[in-house]
Amino acid sequence: MHTFPRFCSLAALAALVTASAAQAHIGYTGRNFGTLVPDGSTVSIANQTVSGGFGWADATDADFGDSHRGRFYRFNLATSATVVITAQRNALGSGPADTFLPGLSLFQGLGHLSPFQGSHDSAALSIASRPAGAEGSFRALADWSIGNDPTYNTAGDPLSGVLHPADLRHFVYIGHAADGASANYGLVSGIAGDGAADGFVTGVFADLAPGDYSIFVGGANYALQATETGTAFPTYGVTVSVAAIPEPSAFAGLAGCGSLGLAALRRRRPAR
């Protein structure tokens, strides 16, 4: 993923850039950017921490990854737009300061929302929809699916009958952005890092169709999975910001941000 340099002018990006322990289920509480207005204005969420410093990178390999080792955010587009997403470490969390390297992936689709039971890796449908031995359902560089449990007429009582049956939610991969280089996120093919392992990364996703989208933000340090083990993972603070720019002139006025053009963007456009 090609990214804007850190020092893009405010005029060029229209004011762009000025996750508690992981939950048992995919959720968006406190991480909903709402419907983005394609005017270049930035919306930021700065009070979240990520569980572990490796969750995004670990989900790039063949045995998938644990969806708990990161945070899910959501937004909606009412009209087509280019969306710019930034993840930057901050001082929150229990992990070593100034070490977190963020990776992010953008998907079309959402996990289960109320009144349904939440999506989670250990649901029977989740396990059935992925290869045997996988570490979880999450994939950082590809489409993926995750299931939930049935909702019963009386909470927790299967004998009361099923109110909402379990099903799968599908996430369509749009693109990614990774902080640093292969020295931290590993040698899996298809990863394009920003080349500077500095705790800051930006992804640009052009010509997105209207609809609901999920962002996964997690650690891009693949090697940490060997040392961050057990049940209590260190947490790392991250500020996530999004901005929508109207089409088709998404990059008008970006002369101050280097030579990035539409042809250089790594993204996949979902079906309308």
pLDDT given at position 18: 29
pLDDT given at position 120: 96
pLDDT given at position 138: 98
What are 112-144's pLDDT values in tens digits? 999 999 999 999 999 999 999 999 999 999 999
Q: Does residue 130 fall inside a structural domain?
A: yes
pLDDT given at position 266: 35
What are 172-191's pLDDT values in tens digits? 999 999 999 999 999 999 99
Residue of 103, 84, 70 whose CA lies nearest to 36 = 84
pLDDT given at position 246: 86
Q: Does residue 262 fall inside a structural domain?
A: no
pLDDT given at position 230: 85
What is the DSSP code (8-state) at residue 138? B
pLDDT given at position 258: 31
pLDDT given at position 174: 98
Q: Does residue 211 fall inside a structural domain?
A: yes
Taking the C-alpha atoms of residue 197 and residue 118, their distance in angstroms, rounded to an integer, is 34
**Tally of structural domains, the chain:** 1
All residue ranges of the chain with pLDDT < 70 are 1-24, 247-272
Taking the C-alpha atoms of residue 106 and residue 198, their distance in angstroms, rounded to an integer, is 21
Taking the C-alpha atoms of residue 145 and residue 270, their distance in angstroms, rounded to an integer, is 16
Q: Does residue 206 fall inside a structural domain?
A: yes
Peptide bond into 115 cis (omega under 30): yes
Q: Does residue 181 fall inside a structural domain?
A: yes
Q: Does residue 1 fall inside a structural domain?
A: no
Could you list the beta-strand ranges (E) of 115-167. Answer: 144-147, 151-154, 157-164
Show the domain range for 79: 10-20+27-249
Residue of 22, 54, 50, 49 whose CA lies nearest to 226 = 54
pLDDT given at position 24: 62
* CATH code of the domain containing 84: 2.60.120.1220
Q: Does residue 194 fall inside a structural domain?
A: yes
pLDDT given at position 248: 53
Which helix or strand (DSSP H or E) is residue 128 part of?
A: helix 124-128
Q: Does residue 215 fall inside a structural domain?
A: yes
- Label residue 62 exposed, middle or buried (CB < 10 Å: 0-12, 13-18, 19+): exposed
Please give the model's pTM, rounded to 2 decimal places: 0.84
